[in-house]
A and B are shown apart, each in its own frame.
Chain A
């Protein structure tokens, strides 16, 4: 494993549907991992976390995600964070529900 230094994101689950969201640099919540504010130091991280905890009207399950950054700037994520980042589409596609039509039940996972 390449040597990495730690960096931090603030993440949460959206209150309405539980979807993964990240706190952006503009202090808005985004579903896009790329738009998450990345903190190299603990002080701004803790500040962002403190803000996130005041956002209970929008989110729950607020927490810090630690990631690794390589010397070249590449990101190293845990399996869990890779899957969170990839989102529901990956789950549905890989488990056979990708083209599943909820209304008719047809498609690969359906029956007829």
Chain B
């Protein structure tokens, strides 16, 4: 993984020092809250419903065991002993004290981490495929380009006050695991017929109150032009993006209102002006320098058995179920990709305790070259585990409630913190996730429901990515009561789609039942076990689901927020 040199290190150290003086200026009264607010936000420090919240950046989700231990230690020393992984592959602390935050930043800097640009109207943490570097279907490892973009966007002086936040995702596979279609810029790195590396460029996707799938504005951008093209997009957006209405300020609205051809023309025109700037052209040397940080691990030759297939058929049914749900083939023979579900019965989706973090760090050291990855579905991945070691790893994961065999299944629910924590939320997300999971857990164990994504957001800002869940749940406020809309048909992959609202919203005690009916309807409609929920929905449309959910109890559709 990328290791800081003296320059990178100095930047995070100076940042922590700068924030220490800013906090002191706020406490002394030199800074008003209005002046301090953007400064704390640029360091990922929010005011939430009950406390401050600090969002720590995890660039493209990649963590070393040392960094994970430090995160465990920080949650112990400065918070309540647990943290929350987000859909942007970051980690949030829910209860830090203002005066401790500079020290937390110092601690992060000591392990090459920071909270830079995890909030504010700037380029946010660059996200990527959690299987980058080990996926069988990968054309090019996206991580070096993520790191190049991280450095390019860190404290870029021109783009610190954009019209609105700006999110970039990069994938290196045709099968998109980075949700590039719903990002401000989505990049797919690939090789053309001549073997040259370049990018497909998508611009103007997003979620929130106006979900949009990004159009492709470039079929092949040579890798040397990555920064110039990104700068052209950012500059056009900075100049022309709307600033009159917070809800229309994202680049997706600019692309939509300008029209894709005209927007593309503006970007290409600016790009042509700056494409040969020495400050922007990426050289093969620089790409090679950064790529060296992501060289493959020193894999060993391993015995031919066991195999993943063998393990799924084995006598140990607990292990078999774990392997079937959570383990994927690796590009290197004898190794596997192990996904750790953070969707157990005991904790909110994406939450980890400091004990679990320490355990993951130790297991990463013992089984996976000392590294782990955070996914945008709020799970963790050990990317390089010997198949022969899976049984031992599974046993240790189970000791820490980290072996729930449900990744990609319906109980692997993505949820934002919702109204339990968040100042923007209209409704709680976490209890709904718990209700839905407890209703479906038995069904999931009895029947193979196949891959189903279920995403919950506590408000229209859509941090839980409900628009692109196969099933999406959106919390709304109806006359002071929490209600939930159900959407079906969303998809965050290479066949991205925005889900459609099924009908009237449900009260908090109704939504889990509606989800169960939806899933049972799918079971009844599927032609075989291989036909996924999404495939069935795309084949039959919403009507049978609507009838199942609303038709059976027409009286309940009269229910309002009494």
Contacts and interface: CB of A to CB of B under 8 A. Distances in A.
B33 interface: yes
Given A96-B348, A97-B82, A103-B76, A60 B33 contact: yes
Interface in A80-109: 80, 83-84, 87-88, 91-92, 94-97, 100-105, 108-109
A80 B419 contact: yes
A50 to B, nearest CB: 15
B97 interface: yes
A16 B99 contact: yes
Given A20-B50, A57-B29, A88-B50, A83 B419 contact: yes
A79 interface: yes
B249 interface: no
A83 B430 CA distance: 14
B81 A102 contact: yes
Contact of A88 (B51, B480, B562): B51
Contacts of A102: 76, 80-81, 354
Contacts of A20: 49-50
B551 interface: no
Contacts, number: 113
A79 B482 contact: yes
Contacts of B448: none
A69 to B, nearest CB: 14
A36 to B, nearest CB: 16
Nearest to B418: A83
A93 B81 CA distance: 15
A6 interface: no
Contacts of B98: 15-18
B52 A17 contact: yes
Q: What's the interface size class on B, roughly?
A: 35 or more
Interface string B408-444: 0000000000011100011110110000000000000
A101 B81 CA distance: 8
Interface in B89-132: 95, 97-99
A77 B51 contact: no
A3 interface: no
Interface string A49-87: 000000011001100000000000000111110011001
A88 B49 CA distance: 9
A78 B353 contact: no
Given A17-B97, A19-B50, A61-B47, A79 B480 contact: yes
A41 interface: no
Given A1-B562, A16-B99, A78 B50 contact: no
A60 B29 CA distance: 12
A44 interface: no
A79 B481 contact: yes
Contact of B479 (A1, A13, A61): A1
Q: What's the interface size class on A, roughly?
A: 35 or more
Nearest to B81: A102
B477 A79 contact: yes
Contacts of B353: 100, 105, 109-111
Nearest to B475: A79
Nearest to B478: A79
Interface in B431-481: 431, 477, 479-481
Interface string B343-356: 00011100101111
A112 interface: yes
Contact of B480 (A77, A96, A103, A109): A77
A92 B94 CA distance: 11
A102 B29 CA distance: 33
Contacts of A101: 81
A57 B31 CA distance: 10
Interface in B531-562: 561-562
A79 B95 contact: no
Contact of B47 (A13, A84, A104): A13
B76 A16 contact: no
B270 interface: no
B15 to A, nearest CB: 22
Interface centre among B32, B52, B479 (most CB of A within 10 A): B52
Contacts of B95: 17, 88
A20 to B, nearest CB: 6
Nearest to A79: B482
B4 to A, nearest CB: 30
Contacts of B399: 111-112
Interface of A: 1, 13, 15-20, 56-57, 60-61, 76-80, 83-84, 87-88, 91-92, 94-97, 100-105, 108-112
25 contacts: A16-B97, A17-B51, A17-B95, A17-B97, A17-B98, A18-B48, A18-B52, A19-B51, A60-B33, A61-B33, A79-B477, A80-B425, A80-B426, A83-B420, A88-B51, A91-B420, A95-B347, A96-B346, A100-B80, A105-B355, A110-B355, A111-B356, A111-B399, A111-B400, A112-B399
Given A17-B98, A56-B33, A100-B82, 18 more contacts: A1-B562, A13-B47, A18-B52, A18-B98, A60-B36, A79-B419, A79-B428, A79-B480, A80-B477, A87-B50, A88-B51, A95-B420, A95-B430, A96-B348, A101-B81, A102-B80, A102-B81, A110-B353
6 pairs of A and B residues whose beta carbons are closest in the complex? A105-B355, A102-B81, A18-B52, A18-B51, A111-B400, A60-B33
